[in-house]
Chains A and B, each alone.
Chain A
């Protein structure tokens, strides 16, 4: 490695800081930071080193198989792929999906929002937020959290388990359920299950109360740093319901700019995708989507919890709306909340909202209706399915022949859409915390945390997030090692 860096130095006379690997969980990625002669950050890049190729190897297969295959894109949010794929299939069948099936799909989607966000907040970012960015790296993990704050860790695990158990009750398993299909779903929820989950909700609300308090404490503690964690205006994209409310399953797409102004509204998935182009770079397997009318710079957009709360007019459930009003104070009147650190907070608001929606649906008599699947053959050759995954808007775009064999597959994945913003966040953090000739461990963790706020699923070429081990080297222009830090 030293040789490589030295060779590079000869070419551009810069210092390079390499953070490698940053992920294991996140799949596989690394960061490089170039410094200029004055020791200031010149550039920073987030490299995704994972490639899987679903868009190619699915060609020639039947669209009926796609929910099952594409669920395997991601073990954290398989339900999102299941739903986007089923919805693309719905469009190919050209039938009306029965209302009870839609309600059941929404229910599973809310359950996934709970489990995925709980994983991010408690088990992955929780150690940073609760034990501290500068805590002992040997302790700053799930086991450390169990040791130092056993009641918080247990509550977080139980919250995640609640979501996973609800998915299992609907689809027989919590990871990769074979349940949602083109035209509907394969099973309903028993009355006993409904009562079981309703009975657990009070505990889950209490867990959220605790988590929100912990979050606000963390916002106070890190108040002086929040403007370094990806704080910049950008476009925000997400689904909103027809009345402008927070929406994960249907509705239309809305684009809002960094001042809270609506750029485009009422977009169908098709119309939105026509406005998006994906740039590519030699240094990453992850593409760089942008909003074409504004170009690669101005067209950068963010998706996911922060974006969804920025684009919606209201949440539509009482507890979440109360919290959303507080959240919006951080942006100012009529403005968006622009620091990516608030993704954490947004995640908690979304868990709260999802719990409230789960409560509503479990009490809804529509679940007694057994008409949960429409059957048909191929009636349309193109189908686009969209859903809000925990990490943002997910699109499945299929083209099939008259027998339903796939001719074209395009998956636009949530984390990919945050790629430009993640790169910009890395650069902002590096600029703030890296300069001169000295590195420290707390700095490493802050750079890492800049990635973690996005809770990236690099795959959807592969993902999951968690502890990202780091190795930073600071080298002088002649390649001499000036400072080095390893965590592990």
Chain B
């Protein structure tokens, strides 16, 4: 029973998103290990690889976005995330800088596709674009697509960093990571 005058603490609505990347940042999130069970006590995971939501929901409190923006679907989702989310976190080096995902940027998309696919029926051209999302000419970091509230670097950010960010966000405190938690790689 909740004492009179005290509100039931509202659970934080957390989303996680995976754009163009390797899922390593999500793996690092899972590396919170048993602390995940505690985390689920004060957040509702409303969207992301580990849950069952079809569309990005409204009124999300925190969204961790892993990966860079590589295709038109990523771009659409990023815009939706911004509209529906209070705090957007650029989660890991691909989201923050483009990182390995953007290593394709010096090569024109058509050259890339032609190099990887050789057959006449390769997924290139108008036929392919009926079912497959078009690649952007350049992979861009998240903040070039939408406004980002917080940058959490690392490839991946280690679980200690992730825990530190959650600790601050859950307490509605300012996130102020020490210098050794703000490194790339």
- Seen from chain A, the residues whose Cβ lies within 8 Å of a Cβ on chain B are 4, 24-25, 27-28, 30, 32, 47, 49-53, 55-58, 69, 72-76, 78, 119, 123-124, 137-138, 140-143, 146, 150, 153-154, 157-158, 160-161, 164, 173-176, 279-285, 287, 459, 462-467, 469-471, 486-488
A154 touches B132 (CB 8 A): no
Q: Interface on chain A toward B: helix, strand, loop, or mixed SS?
A: loop
A141 touches B112 (CB 8 A): no
Residues on B with beta carbons closer than 8 Å to the beta carbon of A78 = 22, 24
Which residue of the partner chain, among A56, A143, A153, contacts B107 with CB atoms under 8 Å? A56
Q: Which residues in window 150-171 of B have CB below 8 A to A?
A: 155-156, 158
Residues on B with beta carbons closer than 8 Å to the beta carbon of A32 = 131
B50 touches A466 (CB 8 A): yes
Residues on A with beta carbons closer than 8 Å to the beta carbon of B107 = 53, 56-57
B49 touches A471 (CB 8 A): no
Which residue of the partner chain, among A28, A55, A164, A487, contacts B54 with CB atoms under 8 Å? A487
Which residue of the partner chain, among A146, A175, A462, contacts B28 with CB atoms under 8 Å? A175
| Minimum CB distance partner of A448 in chain B | B52
| Minimum CB distance partner of A279 in chain B | B119
Q: List 9 A-B contacts (CB under 8 A).
A: A25-B26, A25-B50, A50-B20, A52-B70, A56-B112, A57-B107, A57-B112, A158-B34, A469-B55
Q: A76-B27, A469-B53, A470-B54 are in contact. Are A282 and B33 (CB under 8 A)?
A: no
A176 touches B101 (CB 8 A): no
Judge whether B36 is part of the interface by a CB distance below 8 angstroms. Answer: yes
Residues on A with beta carbons closer than 8 Å to the beta carbon of B44 = 143
CB distance from B183 to the nearest CB of A (A): 12
Judge whether B111 is part of the interface by a CB distance below 8 angstroms. Answer: yes
| Minimum CB distance partner of B53 in chain A | A488
Cα separation A422 to B36 with both chains bound (whole Å): 32
Judge whether B59 is part of the interface by a CB distance below 8 angstroms. Answer: no
A467 touches B21 (CB 8 A): no
Of B52, B73, B112, B117, the most chain A CB neighbours within 10 A belong to B52
Which residue of the partner chain, among A24, A160, A176, contacts B156 with CB atoms under 8 Å? A176
Q: A47-B131, A157-B37 are in contact. Are A282 and B53 (CB under 8 A)?
A: no
Q: A57-B103, A76-B27 are in contact. Are A161 and B51 (CB under 8 A)?
A: no
Judge whether B48 is part of the interface by a CB distance below 8 angstroms. Answer: yes
Cα separation A466 to B53 with both chains bound (whole Å): 11
Which residue of the partner chain, among A4, A56, A146, contacts B115 with CB atoms under 8 Å? A56
Of A73, A153, A282, A471, the most chain B CB neighbours within 10 A belong to A282
Judge whether B91 is part of the interface by a CB distance below 8 angstroms. Answer: no
Of A52, A124, A146, the most chain B CB neighbours within 10 A belong to A52
- Seen from chain B, the residues whose Cβ lies within 8 Å of a Cβ on chain A are 17-18, 20-28, 30-31, 33-34, 36-37, 40, 44-45, 48-55, 70-71, 73, 99-101, 103-104, 106-107, 111-113, 115-119, 121-125, 127-128, 130-133, 135, 155-156, 158
B49 touches A280 (CB 8 A): no
Residues on A with beta carbons closer than 8 Å to the beta carbon of B55 = 469, 488
A469 touches B54 (CB 8 A): yes
Residues on A with beta carbons closer than 8 Å to the beta carbon of B30 = 119, 123, 160
12 A-B pairs besides A282-B125, A469-B52 with CB distance below 8 A are A24-B49, A25-B18, A141-B45, A175-B27, A176-B24, A279-B119, A280-B122, A459-B22, A463-B22, A464-B26, A467-B52, A488-B52
B132 touches A72 (CB 8 A): no
CB distance from A152 to the nearest CB of B (A): 12
Which residue of the partner chain, among A138, A280, A283, contacts B52 with CB atoms under 8 Å? A138
A467 touches B49 (CB 8 A): yes
CB distance from B37 to the nearest CB of A (A): 6
Residues on A with beta carbons closer than 8 Å to the beta carbon of B124 = 282
| Minimum CB distance partner of A466 in chain B | B49
Q: A53-B107, A281-B121, A464-B23 are in contact. Are A123 and B50 (CB under 8 A)?
A: yes
A280 touches B119 (CB 8 A): yes
A72 touches B22 (CB 8 A): yes
Residues on A with beta carbons closer than 8 Å to the beta carbon of B50 = 25, 123-124, 141-142, 466-467
Cα separation A51 to B133 with both chains bound (whole Å): 10
Which residue of the partner chain, among A25, A143, A279, contacts B23 with CB atoms under 8 Å? A25
